Homo-oligomer: A and B are copies of this chain.
Amino acid sequence: MPTNQQIVLDNRPQGEAVASNFKLVSGPTPALLQGQVLVRHHYLSLDPYMRGRMNDGKSYAAPQPLGEPMIGGTVGEVVESKHPKFAVGDKVVGMGGWQEYSVVNGDDLGALRKVDTTHIPLSAYLGAVGMPGVTAWYGLVKIIEPKAGETMVVSAATGAVGSAFGALAKARGCRVVGIAGGPDKCKYAVDELGFDECIDYKQHPHVGSLAKALKVACPNGIDGYFENVGGMILDAVLLRMNAFGRIAVCGMIAGYNGEPLPLTNPALILVSRLKVQGFIVSEHMEVWPEALKELGTLVATGKLRPRESVAPGIAAAPEAFLGLLKGKNFGKQLVKLI
């Protein structure tokens, strides 16, 4: 039986998450029962939502239990199977967690999905053609409901969700403006991801300055905003929203550490007759087939070429994750396990 290295949650963060919240443990993979499959993970996905799970407070999901491998999406290969639907060598995507191997009950609905890597690289199923891509798709298609010619804005534009959002919105004939941190990310958003413009929020320490930059980049105002961040960026965007604008709230990453993050002027929701709607994509599994089909086509045809940040080996996961929370990653953050 191969040895399985895991990162478990050892203790909960007091304020900011730190490396000592995690612990590396290892042990043998268990023998399979009938109906089970052993998956060797090739890539682990790191995503902001994991920070929320580390807390014990009220959230939309149960907290991550202490002493167990951190939750996380994985892609890999079946290395042993006692389930008729899965064969050794099958490429699969699942929620294997922060570890090198996972044992999956093949009958659990949605636990393991076989994927085709002919035209789409395996790692893309954790990003553009996976949960982040569907997240962008749901926010854009189901909440924002864009019309051709409208202006869409997305924060964290070069991340896995933001880059997919940009490609999906361009495909619908929208003007797409990104917000990202630093000139490299902004250049990448325009040159490689196809954004019309990208604003470097680090150049705008105050809400008034950022709002002015948005006015220049969005001469017709903002019709749809995909919120990955919250805080000052949301305040600035609200000032530029057109009447009947729609805001899909997917992340409030700046607030995960518990610091207060008020919305300065909620009356703008009334003044501009906005719809502001929060969602988490795992509650809308019914859209996944349609969304994955469109996203897969965009990737296979080169219209969506998301960037990846790859950390080497499971032991590197905590540091990479903490960097992600601080915006140090550039593109979809993965951990390569093989």
Q: Which residues of A contact B (CB under 8 A)?
A: 58-60, 230, 234, 243, 249-252, 255, 260-267, 269-280, 283
B274–A277 touching, CB < 8 Å: yes
Q: Which 7 A-B pairs have the closest CB atoms?
A: A270-B278, A262-B262, A263-B263, A263-B266, A252-B267, A269-B278, A276-B276
B266–A265 touching, CB < 8 Å: no
25 contacts between A and B (CB under 8 A): A58-B271, A59-B271, A60-B271, A249-B270, A250-B270, A251-B270, A252-B267, A255-B267, A260-B265, A261-B265, A261-B267, A262-B264, A262-B266, A263-B263, A266-B266, A269-B278, A272-B278, A273-B277, A273-B278, A273-B279, A274-B277, A275-B275, A275-B276, A276-B276, A276-B277
Q: Which residue of B has the minimal Cβ distance to A52?
A: B271
Cβ contacts under 8 Å, A273 to chain B: 60, 277-280, 283
B274–A278 touching, CB < 8 Å: yes
Determine which of B261, B275, B276, B278 lies in contact with A271 in the assembled complex, contact meaning CB atoms within 8 Å. Answer: B278
Cβ contacts under 8 Å, A283 to chain B: 273
A269–B243 touching, CB < 8 Å: no
Q: Which residue of B has the minimal Cβ distance to A234?
A: B266
Cβ contacts under 8 Å, A265 to chain B: 260-262
Q: Which residue of B has the minimal Cβ distance to A267?
A: B252
| A272 to B264 Cα, complex, angstroms | 20
B275–A266 touching, CB < 8 Å: no
| A275 to B269 Cα, complex, angstroms | 11
Cβ contacts under 8 Å, A260 to chain B: 264-265
Q: Which residue of B has the minimal Cβ distance to A58?
A: B271
A277–B278 touching, CB < 8 Å: no
* Contacts beyond the supplied A58-B271, A262-B266, A273-B278: 5 A-B pairs with Cβ under 8 Å: A261-B267, A273-B279, A273-B280, A275-B278, A276-B277
Max chain B CB contacts within 10 Å: which of A252, A260, A283?
Answer: A252
Cβ contacts under 8 Å, A267 to chain B: 230, 252, 255, 261
